[in-house]
Amino acid sequence: MTANSEPVRPAAPRASRGARGFAPLAGNSQRAVLAVLVAAGIAGFAAALERGEAARAWQAYLVNLLFFLGVAQGGVVVAAAFYLTQARWAGAAAFRLAEAFSGFLPLGFLLFWGLYFGRTLIFPWVLHPVAQKAAWLNTPFLFARDGIGLLAMTLLSTWLVRVSRSRRARAWATDSSDIAMPPPAIRRLAPALALAFAAVYSLIAFDLVMSLAPVWHSTLFGAYFFAASFLSALAAMALTAVILRGRLGPANAFTMPKVLHDLGKLVFAFSVFWIYLLFAQYIVIWYGDIPVETFFIVQRVYYAPWAPLSYAAVILIFVVPFVVLLGARPKRTPPILGAVAAGVLAGIWLERYVLVVPSLSQHVVPFGWIELLISLGFLGGFVLCVITGLNMAAAAARWELPAEGH
Amino acid sequence: MSGTVEIIATFAGEEQCVGGIEALRAARAEDFHVFAPIPSEHIEKAIGRRRSPVRAFVLIGGILGVLTGLAITIGTSREWNMVAGGKPIISWPPFIIICFELMILFGGIAAVLSFLLSAQVPAFESLPGYSSRFCGDRFGVAVRCEETEAQKIESILGVAGAEEVRRAQAQPSAAIVDLRDG
Amino acid sequence: MAAAAPEIAAPTFSDVDRSVLRVMQAPGVLYWVWIAFCFTLVAIGAGFWTRQIYTGMGVTGLRQPVMWAVYITNFVFWVGIAHSGTLISAILFLFRTRWRTAVYRAAETMTLFAVLTAGLFPLIHLGRTWFFYWLLPYPNERYLQPNFRSPLVWDAFAVSTYLTISALFLFMGLVPDVASAREQAHGWRRAFYAILALGWQGTDRQWRHYSMAYLLMAGLATPLVISVHSVVSWDFAMAQLPGWHSTIFAPYFVAGAIFSGVAMVITLLVPMRKLWGLEDLLTPWHFDNLAKVVLLTSLVVTYSYATESFMVWYAGDPVEQMTFHMRYFGPWGWMFWMMVLCNCVIPLLLFSPRIRINLAVLWIISIFVNIGMWTERFVIIAGSQSTNFEPSQWAFYRPSITEIMITAGSFAWFLGLFSLFARFLPIISMTELKEGITWLRQALRKDYAKAA
Amino acid sequence: MSDAFSRRSFLKLAAAAGAGAALAGCRPAARKLIPYVVPDENVIPGVAQFYATTCAECPAGCGVIARVREGRVVKLEGNPADPVGQGAICARGQAALQGLYNPDRLASPQLRGDGAALANISWEQALKMLNERLAAAARGGKDRVAFLGAPGGPTFEKIVRAWLGVHDSTRAVFYEALATEPARAAAQQLFGRRDLPVYRLDQAEVLISFGADFLETWQSPVELARQYAEFRTPRRRRGSLDIGRAYYVGPRLGLTAARCDEWIAAAPGAQAQIAWSVLHVMIAERWISQNSHVDLPALTAMAAAHDPASVSARTGVPAETIRRMGEAFGKADGAVALAGTHDESATLAAYVLNAVTGNAGRTMVFLDGAPPEPATRAGEVEAALGAMHDGKVDVLLIAGGNPIFSMSATMDAAGAFQRVPFVVWCGGVPDESANMANLLLPAHHPLEAWRDTAPRAGVNGLGQPVMQPVFPSRAVGDILLASAHANAPAAAVVSWKTAAEAVKAAWLDLAPRAGGIDAEDFWTKAREEGGRFQDAKASAVKLDSAALKAPPAPAPPAELTLFAYPQIFLYDGRGADKSWLQEIPEPIAQIVWDSWAEIHPDTARQLRVAADELIELRTEHGIIEAPALISERVRPGVIAVPLGQGHRSFGRYASDRGANAWALLAPGALSIAVAAKPAGMSRALVSPLGKSDVMGRSIVEAMSIEELARGAAPAAEPLAPEPYEMYPPFPYPEHKWGMTIDTNACTGCSACVAACYAENNVPVVGREAVDQGRIRSWIRIERFFPEKHKEGRAPLAYLTPMLCQQCNHAPCEPVCPVFASHHTDEGLNAQIYNRCVGTRYCENNCPYKVRRFNWFPPEFPAPLDLQLNPDVTVRSGGVMEKCTFCVQRIQHAEIAARAESRAPRDGEIVPACAQACPARAISFGDMNDASSAMMRRRATNPGRGFRALEELNTQPAIVYLRDLYREKERT
């Protein structure tokens, strides 16, 4: 192992330079494409409002916001989790990769406020208040609490990311030969972030998803929601890793089979965890047979047009990863891992869609150019925001190879 | 067995042991087995045998478990079609739970059985060259070779850092703790 | 592994063997007194159970509408205790956690005996115990089969699977260790260890299959342990009863189980370490990490309490709200607040690193957690039934001597079995300590103890 | 019965066999079965016979039908042919069986030695001794033999008088503690006739009860409950949908008051004054009906002293309330006033009120050919006791009535009896009076003996033995006749040898001479139908102006009054030895196995008594202690104590339980000034009830008649956004059994509960077990009181039967690990006792909490076990049980129908609860058959149906019809 850990120490300075100079994803052409996507998205949104399709536009807006916020925030929390479990199997690269998505957080925070303008079309209870829930479901309180929550998350995340990119943290991350703990700042930040994540994203789940069907409630829903966000971040990491590995030199963290293997394991494990949380809710509601709970499921799982979509989501998020990633070899095979991860991401987007939209339009699946453009717009925006971070990840993967630990 | 000898090398540490093994294999001496007090992927890599078949057994066991689960749940429910609480005769959510538990049960049992089978335990006599310390703090490599080869092998092992290299014969166990009642 | 040369750093492999095997030397009188004490209590509990079977469930404090109380509380409590063992030995194994090596054997042993204890209670609480086997599918001339839609049948499957797997897992882990014990033993002990060791010699072939089997067992045990307590929680969540019917129950109970389990591990390890001089194997580092797990799960449990109460308020169902009002302020309200104190407030102390490695304080906290988690189950189980849908049928439960003595017996049964195991089989895994000896060495370094 | 002897020979065996079969139940070891020795043509094993007879539990004398299996009567059901009960029967009637099978019945004649110790002697010795003593007494002179007992019907009376005649005596006392004498006296005074009117509440629009608990114990509760339900049924009255308007004036809000629109809390003495005052109002407002031909001036004079203002001042009842009652009563098209027992003044007023409003002959009817007064008048009773005091009686024969228990201390019955040298007691369970006797003779239970009843004109009930004697007892009539013949062999003074002959003779006299009907056929028909039931002609009555004297000035009200009232189940105390009646909670107080002193919070505060604290009640006649029940359902300044408990000796169930309020009373009165103080100790009253507050849950629901008339039924909003159904529908190809329960008709009388105990072998657990929450009744009366803020917008109390709802999506079923609880293809929620392992999970999940667990193996002390219904398993310890909709009856009917290859007809299947219900509140039928009476009842009551806890989507098979109340016009 000493043999393996040799290159790391002297590599550190080069790495820092690399982080500035070495940028495999910074091509102007790519940025241009992304910019176009963003533009298209905005245009699509505007057009929708223009044509009186505002409701659909806002639904698509909400779905994408939930999805990309989930990925971005989930990423940082993954990093935090790595710190808490002292997971140094991929050296600094894993941390950089996880943190990369945090670039979207500020934008996401702004976009959240956008909901304010669509509130009448998104939240049924704005126009028809629910008497006994008015204390909780009212516009000012909702935007206040969620706004503050998201702000706190954004600040905490940025802070953690900054600390985590510090030299000391990088040194700790690349050498797993001891049982020392991460630098003190991180030791305090990581748990704080994790806790805040649980709290704030439960709120988001209750307010931005559950409250769309004001009669319905499920205690596990918050945890389920943020666990799914966590999974989406892991999938995004796996996908990015697979994309990056080709674009870097021959020897980088992502070409190490062990690293892909571990990413694959994580995706596998958390997709199983996701289905567990889903099942835990489903069986309780199915068995309990209490109408105010069942209707939400029945709408989505028993009747067209939503049933097929729900099944598709489950297949993409659970069935495929479970079957495919069961063995060790597929996990180590980049194309397979990449494809599965992409599937999971698509699945989670779909899942958000199925959670949100039926509450607002029970009988038709609104999907057309509006949804498409808006989603592409979000995608473009997201990638634009995270490119810098991804470059850092690439650099780390290239220059800060993990030490061979146990 | 005339002409073949058993050479046992004792190593103090994992690395040395790995070194010894690599040296042996470099010298085309493949007829050896290794004693170790701990599981070591390095040693395993050095010996370079194919991965254990246990995985396959467990997979089969798991699948069998699921099938059994489906059989008993669906089978018995269909037997009498007893309605309870208006729930469907074939109630998937509960049945999934049963299938899951049986998958784990069968998988686990398969794991143990296949381990016993493929590792050939219980073993009733010890392999040549076994020394009690190999369950304590020493690594060992036992090579069977032609008498003529013996010298060479011994030197290889010596170079690789063996504490001691000897021809097979019994060795008294050194008790560190005396475990007897009364 | 740079530092693997034995003459360099302590402890060496043989140091490890020595310290562990020392525990297994012939025990003294005090030990046998303790064992006798435990099994006397067990006998008393058994006596009360016999009486209950003979005269009828009426000897318990159970009543309309509280059909389940202390027995099921004990069942859930013990199953919960069991969980940490599998968590430490399986889940942390998969995560390649370094500090588990010293503690996992004890935890796993605890698991086995906790499940054995838990398994008694479903039998004890049956009105017609002698027909317990009707819960299992077995061929019979009338084609009568259990109702697979019933959570109790899920329990039967989950718990028996859990018992089997954790027993197999434990004994597999034991094999290399008893092998080295065998090498040191004489007389009947040698025979005993020899049998358990299955003729283990640590050959590469044995290790190759062993590691794979062990890894896969861990892989199976991980989802199993989560499923078991989920199933247990569903005994309640499946009902429509306010206070029981809640989707969060599964993960919430799993977290609670690990919470109480790890606490119980600490409760057992701290005195063990002192009594049997294991200071050089069980270091502050280990306890620091155990404490972190307790803290984490405590936070999860707190989150669950909070969400549950919030959702009751948010859902605005007066029936549920009344039930929770009674849970907070009813006749048993004090239990609820005690539970909050023990499970949510006191564990917050563990945020301080100094407390985490102050074993005395840590031990006391762990006991509070155990009390708190028992209380939690009682509050949920008995309390919710008392304040059911039917106001005319409200009533509150008081345990009778029968339940109290049987509960005491169950604790004695658990401690007795554990104590027996601990002195006759390696209660700490020598093999894995050796494997991760580097981490142990680092942990033993003074500066770490300070840092932690 | 001609074949009586061949029956006798095997029935004893049969009884044992049947009992064995029933008891074997699902216990591990079956009992030894005894084969039939002599097969009997009348008895087919497993097939029930039904014998018509009459109920002797109270003076109402309802006809009943005894269901007899293998020679054991296992259930009493109402006799549809009988115009009084019309097929219904009350809880006390059901419990008659427990009197029959009471384990503490005297098992042999006993003689009291010198040391007051009792020794068993043979019947021969006993009768010899009796006859000798009687002969001696007769020789001693005239009237030295006395009879004191409960009225036993006309023939019995004849026998008694004949017997006395033989012994040259006329001292016959037929004693009823709760006498109808005041009512008769009132009738005498006003109408010059001494009989009791019958009431037609259903003919009335307005009802005022001045303390008459007509739904509990007053006169003929079964009949009146039925009529009252009719009275309260919403009907078009004067164009708009309306229910009868009922006021209750009295000191306590009992069951009867709770079912009325308004409870006017009046002190015991005050009911009469208020009644008079109501009359005053009507005179003042000229609401006197012309055709009543009443002497108006006399009438005016009569009520002069009772203008509302002054009465209000005296009684504390608002004058406005009195006027309101008066107006309602006067304007009503058909009204009726009732007055409580032992309240002559109120009865007078009530009669006058009915008469002057032209309701005599309409809602209150006097019939021609009324039977003579069954009970002896108080005066004569006193005289007889006086004679005993003066040592003028040598032999006293006590047969029932238990005078020692219920007679006022002033009568000093004990003292009188002690002065009688030889006291003979005949009866079942030895009671306080038996303690005074030298010779105790086990007497037949009415169900074992021949007798007849004449409760009213046109109704002649025939009581025939429905099974062989359980104990070596004899009919009192037979004993008397035997001794009569023994002591007067030559003279053929008495034409009949046995009571049976006497009864038959009496009936042959009844046989119509004309029409060529053969007397024997008539006799047979009577035995089949249980009597002769004819319409009696109503006779016109006119107020005798001379009788319209102003009532005596009321005594000044005491500042603390004791009000004793017959408890609905224990009546005057005769019910106390029946464990069902002890264990069924008193519907309003919901208390079991005890008596209590109900006291208003204010009064309690003044007396400084806390709940459950024993209050010492002292009057000039005696002292008792009873635990305080603090409630606002009693008027301040009044302490209400139920009668019936406090037996010193009356079998294991009654002895040393509660307090005997009779001991405090003066003769002929149920209220008296009392001194009360806390006794320092307390005794917790035991009740199976948890909370009295329904917390707005949809377990009981009510709506105002105004709403109903307006058609403003509470909107049934969907349980959740559709669709929400997660399970596939299951077809119920043949039947889907269901029930409709009209909570507006239900009076809470608990007859259904008793019927269920009897039909389904539900064991009694006793006071302590009830306290531990182990009561076992399958059906219970839910009793809730409206929240304070709802007062005036809710009934005075919610009362509704709660039993297994037989849910379509039953939460109890899926959780049973062994399918012990599952759903049948006839929609029943089945419980298989033999499969149950006792996880009790089902009860956890039952939202209605109607399942019951066998905490211990059940106990039926012999010979109570003979009552067990062979068609229903006796559940063993450790299993769960619950209401089955009387599946055994469903099966029976279905098998019968299949035998005739047809479907069961609607109404063929009647569960025990529905069958017993006097108010006809419960109807049972097939939900697949929209034309079934049960379904029509749902259909014809739009807007009133609701299912309990519907929001849980359990889809109960029981639909309740909302209770109806009247929006109060409060003063």
Residue C292 has pLDDT above 70, yes or no: yes
Q: Give me the mean pLDDT over the D540-562 stretch.
A: 84
Per residue in D593-608, pLDDT (tens digit) is 999 999 999 999 999 9
In this model, does residue D40 exceed pLDDT 80?
A: no
Confidence of residue C3 (pLDDT cuts 50, 70, 90): very low
Q: DSSP letter at D868?
A: S
Instruction: Tokens for A105, please give them.
Output: 């957080």
Residue with the bigger pLDDT between C329 and B145: it is C329
DSSP class per residue in D873-920: --PPTT-EE---SSHHHHHHHHHHHHHTTSPPPTTS---HHHHH-TT-
% of chain D residues with pLDDT over 90? 68
CB atoms within 10 A of CB D477: 29
Cα of D697 to nearest chain C Cα, Å: 8
Q: Where are the beta strands (DSSP E) in D434-518?
A: 439-442, 451-456, 459-463
Residues 83-102, chain B, touching A (beta carbon < 8 A)? 85-87, 93-94, 96-97
Q: Is residue C116 predicted with pLDDT exceeding 60? A: yes
Please state, in angstroms and rounded to a whole number, the distance separating the CA atoms of residues A339 and C142.
52
Name the 3-class secondary structure at D772: coil
What whole-number distance in Å separates Cα of residue D948 and Cα of residue D957? 10
Among D521-525, D636-640, D949-953, whose mean pLDDT is lowest? D521-525
Query: Which sign does the torsion angle of CA C300, C304, C307, C313 carry?
Result: negative
Count CA atoms closer than 13 A to D657's CA, side-chain side.
28
> How far apart, in whole angstroms, are the C-alpha atoms of residue B99 and residue C148?
11
Q: DSSP letter at D567?
A: B
Percent of chain D with pLDDT over 70: 94
Residue with structure tokens 């004498």?
A: D181
DSSP output for chain B: -TTEEEEEEEESSHHHHHHHHHHHHHTT---EEEE-SS--HHHHHHHTPPPPTHHHHHHHHHHHHHHHHHHHHHHHHHHH--BBTTB-SS-HHHHHHHHHHHHHHHHHHHHHHHHHHHHT-S--SPPTT--GGGGTT-EEEEEEEEHHHHHHHHHHHHHHT-SEEEES-------SS-B---
Identity of the residue numbered A9: R
Q: Are D799 and D782 in contact (CB under 8 A)?
A: yes
- Residue C150 — pLDDT band, cuts 50, 70, 90? very high
Rounded to whole angstroms, how far apart are CA atoms D400 and D385? 16
CATH class, C45-137+145-447 region: mainly alpha
Q: Which of D729, D775, D779, D782 is nearest to D755 (CA)?
A: D779
Q: Is the pLDDT of residue C45 over 90?
A: yes
**Cβ contact, residue pair A294, D726, below 8 Å:** yes
CB–CB contact C58 D782 (8 Å) = no
| Confidence (pLDDT) at A15 | 41
Q: Find the closest chain A residue to D724 by CA distance.
A: A295
- What's the confidence (pLDDT) of residue A405? 42
Instruction: Say yes or no for a CB contact (<8 Å) between A282 and B85.
Output: no
In a domain, A361, yes or no: yes
pLDDT at C279: 85
Domains for chain B: give ranges and CATH numbers. Answer: 4-50+132-181 (3.30.70.260), 54-118 (no CATH)
Q: What is the pLDDT of residue D848?
A: 95
Beta strand B4-11 with D675-682 is unpaired
Listed residue (C285, A212, A228, C239) closest to A220, CA to CA: A228
pLDDT band at D39 (very low <50, low <70, confident <90, very high): low
Average pLDDT, chain C: 90
Dihedral sign of CA atoms D819, D825, D829, D831 in order? negative
Handedness of CA D935, D941, D942, D944 (dihedral sign): negative
Chain C residues 379-438 with CB within 8 Å of chain D: 385, 388-395
Instruction: Of A61, A62, A34, give the one whose Cα is nearest residue A48.
Output: A61
Structural domain count of chain A: 1
Helices H / strands E in chain A, number of each: 18, 0
Low-confidence residues in chain A, pLDDT < 50: 1-20, 405-406
Helices and strands, number each (H, E), in chain C: 19, 0
- Considering just the CA atoms, what is the radius of gyration of chain C in Å? 23
Distance CA D136, CA D487 (A): 10
Q: How far apart are CA A237 and CA D190, in angstroms?
A: 103
**Alpha helices (H) along C125-149:** none
Q: Where are the domains of chain C?
A: 45-137+145-447
What mean pLDDT is predicted for residues D880-894?
95
| The pLDDT value given to residue D585 | 96
| CB pair distance less than 8 Å for D822 and B86 | no
Q: How far is CA A40 from CA A61, A346, A375, D681, in A?
A: 14, 20, 10, 87
D289 pLDDT more than 60:
yes
Query: How far from chain centre, in Å, is Cα D822?
Result: 37
Q: C428-442, D6-20, D39-53, D352-366 — which is least confidently predicted?
A: D6-20
Contact call for residues A347 and A311 (beta carbons, < 8 A): no
Among the listed residues D342, D337, D341, the one whose alpha carbon sits nearest the alpha carbon of residue D213: D341
pLDDT of residue D319: 93
Q: Can you give the residue range of the structural domain that contains A94?
A: 26-123+138-405
Q: Who's near D513: CB < 8 A, 6+ residues apart?
A: none
SS3 of D643, please?
strand
Mean pLDDT of D636-652: 94
Disruptive mutation site among A177, A284, A404 for chain C (greatest number of C CBs within 10 Å): A284
B-contacting residues in A 258-287 (Cβ below 8 Å):
279, 282-283, 286-287
pLDDT at residue D29, as a whole number: 42
Amino acid at D501: E
Average pLDDT, chain B: 85
- Best mutation target among A220, A259, A261, A279 (most C Cβ atoms within 10 Å) is A220
d(CA D949, CA A289): 13
Is D726 in Cβ contact with A289 (below 8 Å)?
yes
Query: Which residues fall within 8 angstroms of residue A61, CB to CB, at 6 or more apart?
Result: A45, A111, A114, A115, A118, A374
- Residue D737's contacts (CB-CB under 8 Å, 6 or more residues apart) are D806, D826, D827, D828, D885, D890, D909, D924, D925, D926, D927, D957
D5 pLDDT above the threshold of 80: no
Entry pTM: 0.93
- Reported as type and span, the H/E element at residue D404 is helix D403-406
Alpha carbon distance C88, C290 (integer Å): 9
Q: If you count them, how many residues does chain A have?
A: 406
User: pLDDT tens digits, residue range D349-366?
Assistant: 999 999 999 898 899 999
Q: How far is CA C59 from CA C52, C71, C73, D877, in A?
A: 6, 13, 18, 12
CA D118, D119, D120, D126 dihedral sign is negative
Say what the alpha-carbon torsion angle C53, C57, C61, C65 is, to the nearest 10 degrees: 160
Give residue for tokens 């797990």.
C293
pLDDT at D717: 76
Looking at residue A300, what DSSP letter applies?
Answer: I
pLDDT of residue A336: 94
**For residue B147, is pLDDT > 90?**
no
> What distance in Å separates the CA atoms of residue D416 and residue D726, rounded to the nearest whole number?
77
> What one-character-per-residue DSSP string does B123-150 give?
--SPPTT--GGGGTT-EEEEEEEEHHHH
Measured CA to CA, the distance from residue D21 to residue D23 in angstroms comes to 6
D724, A215: Cβ pair inside 8 Å?
A: no
Chain D contacts in chain B segment 28-87 (CB below 8 A): 80, 82-87
Pick from D721, D814, D952: CB nearest A295: D721
A80 CA: distance to closest CA in chain B (Å): 30
User: Reading across the β-sheet that carries D395-399, which strands appear in turn?
Assistant: D118-120, D110-112, D439-442, D422-427, D395-399, D145-149, D171-174
As given in the structure block, the two tokens for residue D958 are 């029981």
Report how far residue A101's alpha carbon sits from residue A71's, in angstroms, rounded to the nearest whole number.
Answer: 7
Please provide the DSSP assignment of D60-87 as one string: T--EEEEEEETTEEEEEEE-TT-TTTTT
pLDDT digits (tens, 9 = 90+) for D815-866: 999 999 999 999 999 999 999 999 999 999 999 999 999 999 999 998 999 9
Is A322's Cβ below 8 Å from some Cβ in B? no
Residue D771 or residue D40, greater confidence = D771
CA distances (Å), origin D495, targets A335, B36, D368: 116, 116, 30
CA distance D887 to chain A (A): 27
Q: Could you tell me how many residues make up chain B?
A: 182
Cα D528 from Cα D520, distance rounded (Å): 12
pLDDT, chain D, mean: 89
